[in-house]
Structures are given as structure tokens and as C-alpha cells.
Amino acid sequence: MSGGGDGARGQGGRAWALPELIDAGAYVVDDRGRIVEVNAQAERLVGRGAAELLGRDAHDLLHRGSHGEPLPRIRCLMKQAFLAGRTLHGDLGWFERGDGSLLPIAWTIAPCELAPAQRGALVLFHEVDPAPLGGGGGRPAGAEAPMSELDRLALLAETTTTLTSTLDVEEILRQLVRLVVPLMADWAVVDLLAEGGGVTREVVVHHEGGLPVRREELEGPMPPVPETSPMPLSRALRGVTATLAGPETYRGRPDSGIAVVQRELFQVTGMHSASIAPIRGVRDVIGALTLGRAERADAFTPADLLLVEDIARRAGLALDNARLYERQRRVAETMQRHLLPQLPSPPGLRMSATYRPAPRASQVGGDWYDAFALPGGATALVIGDVVGHDLDAAAGMAQICNMLRAYAYAQDDPPHVIVDRLDQAVTRMAQPVMATAVFARLEPTGAGRWLLRWTNAGHPPPLLVEHDGQSRFLEAGHGLLLGTGLRTRRPDAAVELPPGCTLLLYTDGLIESPARLLDEGLAKLRRYAAALAHRPLETFCDQLLAGVRPADNDDDVAMLVLRLPD
């Protein structure tokens, strides 16, 4: 099956035109398991429109166990067939409808080709009567079937795999809740100890109508942890073993503020049974996990408690790694910010700059800007980006920045000579790095005129916006990036800057996006910068970031902007 021809192009630009079968639903998933096409019968069967289905992970959205619980991927036959790339049939499986009810299905999954070198799979399914096949008829009311030992091992395996796949604390908590609700409980509560002290109720989630619902009114700061309280949550937050609890546990006189909060939690949620386990990191206690049952009639057992404790331990290791990563990111970001310079104030010129780190839980890069006065009245302008996203990149940035300052200040040479000398030094650094950079000299020529001379080492071109809004990229003077070890002649370029113009130097985090061509990012930058030609320079960079920076670009941004008087 191939989706490469025009005949496979569906409505609205969608890549497939699935047949409308009488009683069978059909959908197509890409190589990441996301739904890319669906027919109308599938929408009717699962009670979800195409807008709700397209782009979603089919396993997470639809696949369920016989009691409606999320199905661990290692136990999902459909997922196994998809990963193995082979055709497989099943007489009985379960999808979750949009209203939270279960749809018993028979299914067939077959590999297909969506585009050259891009694999996917076609899924066909129809509703069946589960009774003759030994299946249940939907979500049971009251007691749930106990989890088998295989189910428990599968849940622990998926917990480890899922929670260690990210270094973002919020994503870890979201996945943790998804794994245990509603499989083990209809309430999930996570309390975390802050690194500087204090406790915060980070997550309170209730399973309502087939979906997890965040109860933010129950979240927020918590009272301090008492050192000697025997109450379950206080013990868990001190790292003591997991405990079973119920509303009767907190009916007596509360011994602390945390006990008061817990009593209110049981009252508001209606939980009749709860498992409370410490979330431990490698060295310290990170928080506590509370799983509660209100709608489910069965209470937690000691065997359940052991499983909750094991899940909490795995969550603790994932959260510990995420916190360690975040501390490393903050150290690098702080170092990077301290290395960025104070801008000079050349007579008759206005200058502004900004540095924005990559989004939260992303790695710190080696972006930098610099500007400093040179002997003879010229001003040096620099923008650069060390290849990489880690502490090594930030450290390499610091070395390159300082060497460039030294070479530029010591000798009154053209820009290409300075950068060529810098390139030779970069290749001899103990820790090899590569970097892109623009180095420019802004020189007064008399009568309020300024000449810009620059050389570009593999960096995005500076943007010149004139007073009337006309704009152009300064694409001349382009040469090889730094640190390759290749010796090539670097060119210089020069332009006389018109009065009232704005000159922008920037790094690629401002324009690059995995979802669009580089030329599109450059065109958007040029359009926005031209529109801001008369805006105050103090807010120019912030407005440009808000309008141009792609939401999906996981990279730092540095900008240096200069404006001449009219």
C-alpha cells in the first residue's frame, strides 16, 4: 500500500482516502503510532471525530484492557504487531469510546508504506459480541478483577520505560498518573518536597467520565512536615515505608497542619481506601504518592501497597534524574548569563541585546552576543553560536568569546584577519569545538555616517532594516564556520549604514523550526523586523521573539540590535 500518488490524497490535504466500509472502521498510523487518517465508520464506532483522532497516539487514546484500564504496551498485541511490522488478527480487543465506555472489537493490523522510506500501518476493526469469546461486557460496577502477577510485572516495566524517557518533571508526573489511573485507583495525588524546603501538592487527578481531570483547587503549598508525626503522609514524606489509610485514619484530633489537609482531602474526594508511599530519590526523599479509591468498592490490599511502593520508587529515580538535569541546566545558564557583556554606549548610537535560554527542560547551548569599543573609535559587534547543547558548548563559548575580544582589541586588522586568527586558535583548543559567528566593525566616517565592515563564519546573515521599512539580509562576507581545521580565505564585506536604520544580529534559534524551511523563518523575521522599525529599541527584541521564534524550536536565542539616529 502506498500513499505517494495523487489518488491517495484524501479530503482537506490528508494523505489517505480510506474506503467507507459498511460495518468496519479503519485508520492509518504513522511510524510513531500517531493516527494520520480515519474513515467515517471508525469515527462513529469510537464516538470521536476526526479532529480528536488525527495526530493522537492510537495506543494511548484507544487501546484498553477488558476492564477499561490503560493497556501496557508490552501486553498490547496490536502494538506488538505494529512494532514487528507484520500482519496480525485479533478476535477480541477493547477500544475506549469518547464517552469513556468500552467498545469490544475484532481487529486486523497490516503494515503499509505512507511515503518512500516511511512506514505505517492500517488498522481495520468492527464491533463484536464479547460474551461468546469469554470477554466482559464493559466496565464492571463495584469490585475490580485483581491484577495478576504478569499484569504487575508489565506495569512496573512500563513505568520504568515511560518515566525514564523524559527529563521534564511535569511530563513525568503526567505519565505517572496515566499509568496508575484508572488501572489501580480513581484518585492520584503527588506531593513533592522542594529542594529548598517546604512541600507542594503538585498533582491531584480524578478519573471522571473516562478521562483524567486535574483538580487544581486541591493543589498548592502544604504545611511543613512534622518530624515525629505517626500519620501516613507525614511518615511517607520523611521516607518511612508505605502505608494503607482511610478516612478513619484522620478522624481523630489532627497532630499537624498536614493531617488537617489530609482529612479534608478524604472528605472532598470521598476516598474510602488509599495507599500512601514515599517517592525516594537516590539520596533523599522527593515526595509522596497517594492513590485513592472512591468509586471502586474494593479496598487496597497489602499486595497492592507493595506495588504502589515499587511504582513510587521508580518515579523517584526518574524525578531525581530530572532534578539533577535541571540543576545542571541552571548552572550552565547562570554561567552563560554572567559571561554576556554590558553593552557599550557609542556616541550617537543606541544598542540593545537579549539572551533567552531554550525552553524548560531543554539543554543549554553556546549562543552569545558581544559588543565593545575598539581603539580608534570603532565598535566591535559579535554574534555567535557554539555547536552543541551542553556544558561543553557553554564553556567553549566562553573561551571563543574571550579570544575574539583579545584578538580584536590588540590589532587593528580587518574582520576576516581577526576571525581567521581566531579559527586557528579554536582548532588548537583542548576540547575541540565548532562555532558560527559574525564579527563586525562599526566605524564612524564623519558627518554622522557609519561604515559597517564584517565577516561571517557560517552564521545566519545580519538583517538591515531601513527607516522606511525596507529591509535586506547582509549575505556578503560569508565563509566557513570556525573549528573545521580547513584553511580557506575568508571574505570581508562592507556597507554604509543609512540614517535611522536598525541592524539586527541573531542566532538560529530565532528562525529555525523542524516544521518549516529555513527560508520561511528568514522571511518571517524580515517581515516582523520591518514592522518594528519604528518601535522603541528597548522592546524591539522582546516583540521580535514573541512574533518570530517558533514554538517548536528547542534552542537558545541571542540577539544584538543597533539603531542609528535619523
Ordered per-residue pLDDT tens for the chain, 566 residues: 333 333 333 344 444 556 566 678 899 988 778 899 999 999 999 999 999 999 998 988 999 888 788 877 666 777 766 665 667 788 888 999 999 889 999 888 888 878 776 778 889 898 888 766 555 444 433 335 566 676 777 788 888 888 988 888 999 999 999 999 988 999 999 999 987 778 999 999 999 877 889 999 999 999 999 988 999 999 999 998 889 999 999 888 889 999 999 999 999 999 999 999 999 998 889 999 999 999 988 999 888 898 999 999 999 999 999 888 888 777 766 766 666 778 888 888 899 999 887 765 445 568 889 999 998 889 999 999 998 766 677 778 888 999 999 999 888 899 999 999 999 999 988 888 899 999 999 999 877 789 999 999 999 999 999 988 899 999 999 999 999 988 888 999 999 999 999 999 999 989 988 777 889 999 999 999 999 988 888 889 989 998 998 877 778 899 999 999 88
- Report helix, strand or coil for 536: coil
Q: Which helix (H) or strand (E) holds 473?
A: strand 471-473
Q: What are the domain boundaries of the chain? A: 6-133, 149-329, 340-563
Question: For residue 12, what pLDDT is reported?
Answer: 41
Distance CA 27, CA 378 (A): 64
pLDDT value of position 81: 67
Greatest alpha-carbon pair distance for the chain in Å reads 94
Q: Cβ(125)–Cβ(119) under 8 Å?
A: no
Phi, psi of 395, rounded to the nearest 5 degrees: -70, -40
Within 13 Å and on the Cβ side, how many CA atoms surround 497? Answer: 33
pLDDT of the residue at 516: 79
Q: What pTM does this model have? A: 0.53
What pLDDT does residue 233 have? 94
CATH of 6-133, one of 3.30.479.10, 3.10.129.10, 3.40.190.10, 3.30.450.20: 3.30.450.20
For 71, the grid coordinates are 493497556
Identify which of 436, 438, 397, 445 has the alpha carbon closest to the alpha carbon of residue 416.
Answer: 438
Task: Give the helix/strand (H/E) hosting 480.
Answer: none
* CATH code of the region 149-329: 3.30.450.40
Quote the CA–CA distance of 126 and 107 in Å, as a whole number. 7
DSSP code of residue 532: T
Q: Extract the C-alpha cell encoding 485.
A: 581545521
Which CATH number applies to 340-563? 3.60.40.10
Q: Output the pLDDT for position 559.
A: 95
Convert 342-355 to b/e letters by CB count within 10 Å (16 or more is b). ebeebeebbbbbbb
Task: Give the pLDDT confidence score for residue 155 in this predicted structure.
Answer: 81
By the 8 A CB rule, do 384 and 399 touch? no
Task: Output the DSSP codes for 482-506.
Answer: BTS----PPP-EEEEEPTT-EEEEE
DSSP reduced 3-state for 141? coil
pLDDT at 491: 95
How many whole angstroms separate alpha carbon 59 and alpha carbon 182? 16
Cβ-count burial of 411 within 10 angstroms (0-12 exposed, 13-18 middle, 19+ buried)? exposed
Q: How many Å apart are CA 427 and CA 375, to the nearest integer?
A: 28
Three-class secondary structure assignment of 202-265:
EEEEEEECCEEEECHHHCEEECCCCCCCCCHHHHHHCCCCCEEECHHHHCCCCCCHHHHHHHHH
Please indicate whether the domains covering 6-133 and 340-563 agree at the CATH topology level: no
